[in-house]
């Protein structure tokens, strides 16, 4: 859901010249600046290094719920796959900005009580220490999908559908107070191009960074 929202903002933003999507299945979208690569093994991205050359920013939105998972399994998906992609990109494009979607409550001490928060914190710390030009950890809480973004998990999508009237009212009563997938996408584009004072962005920071459409006068990114 987040990845779709970020993709849509990239496609709609003039300052983004090219978009490369790496996924297991097609997005189903056709756009002049969109290129897709279907990749089966997310533990190894070495074969994609030629495609990663010259990339200005990576918006890494892959993730799963920790419900029903043990720490080893959650670590494999959350930490191992993320670092595999990051290291492949770093090898050929160290100048890139790496933006990673974690979650509110992530534990950067790596010693807290919540398993998912420890693993997310470990992942954040590893990414921040890799050596990219810049790296930013996005910690959204509750997000509202817009512009056609939707969760691939059936029961989660159903919850969003049921909450639509409530969220519509909330957006009227508190304009700008709802963190949407579009806001997250705009925040990532803005932060990747002009930076942000913090490397870990909580919901308030994300709203601030993505509160207005990206400035199309800034340097273009790929």
Segment 119-128 shows an average pLDDT of 98
Asked if CATH classification 3.40.50.720 holds for the domain at 2-209, the reply, yes or no, is: yes
pLDDT of residue 134: 97
Rounded Cα–Cα distance for residues 202 and 44 (Å): 30
Q: Is the pLDDT of residue 111 over 90?
A: yes
User: Distance between CA 21 and CA 35 in Å, rounded?
Assistant: 6
Q: Are 8 and 146 spatial neighbours (Cβ–Cβ below 8 Å)? A: no
Q: What is the pLDDT of residues 156-190, one digit of tens each?
A: 546 545 555 555 444 444 444 568 889 999 999 99
Q: What is the reported pLDDT for 211?
A: 78
Mean pLDDT of the chain: 87
Q: What is the pLDDT, as a whole number, of residue 145?
A: 73
- 129 has a pLDDT exceeding 90: yes
User: Do 34 and 16 contact (CB within 8 A), yes or no?
Assistant: no
Q: Does residue 74 carry a pLDDT above 50? A: yes
> Which DSSP letter does residue 47 get?
G
pLDDT range class, residue 49, cuts 50, 70, 90: very high
Residue 2, burial from CB neighbour count under 10 angstroms (0-12, 13-18, 19+):
buried
Give the residue extent of every domain in the chain. Answer: 2-209
With bands split at pLDDT 50, 70 and 90, how would you rate the model's confidence at 222?
Answer: confident
Token pair belonging to 53: 């050359």
The whole-number pLDDT of residue 218 equals 45
Q: What is the pLDDT of residue 171?
A: 47
Token readout for 67 is 């419900």
């Amino acid at each position: 859901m987040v990845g779709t929202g970020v993709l849509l903002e990239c496609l709609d933003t003039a300052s983004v010249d090219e978009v490369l999507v790496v996924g297991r299945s097609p997005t189903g979208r056709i756009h002049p600046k969109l290129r897709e690569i279907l990749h089966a093994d997310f533990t190894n991205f070495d074969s994609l290094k030629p495609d990663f050359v010259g990339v200005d920013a990576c918006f890494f939105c892959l993730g799963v719920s920790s419900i029903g998972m043990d720490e080893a399994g959650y670590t494999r998906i959350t930490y191992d796959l993320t670092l595999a992609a990051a290291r492949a990109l770093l090898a050929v494009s160290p100048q890139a900005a790496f933006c990673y979607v974690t979650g509110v409550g992530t534990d950067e001490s790596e010693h807290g009580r919540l398993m998912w928060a420890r693993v997310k914190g470990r992942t954040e710390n590893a990414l921040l220490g890799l050596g990219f030009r810049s790296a930013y950890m996005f910690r959204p809480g509750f997000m509202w999908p817009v512009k056609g973004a939707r969760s691939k998990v059936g029961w989660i999508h159903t919850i969003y559908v049921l909450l639509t009237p409530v969220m519509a009212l909330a957006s009227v009563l508190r304009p700008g107070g709802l963190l949407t997938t579009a806001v997250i996408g705009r925040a990532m584009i803005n932060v990747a191009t002009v930076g942000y004072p913090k490397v870990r962005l909580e919901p308030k920071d994300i709203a601030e960074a993505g509160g207005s459409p990206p400035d199309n006068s800034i340097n273009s990114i790929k």
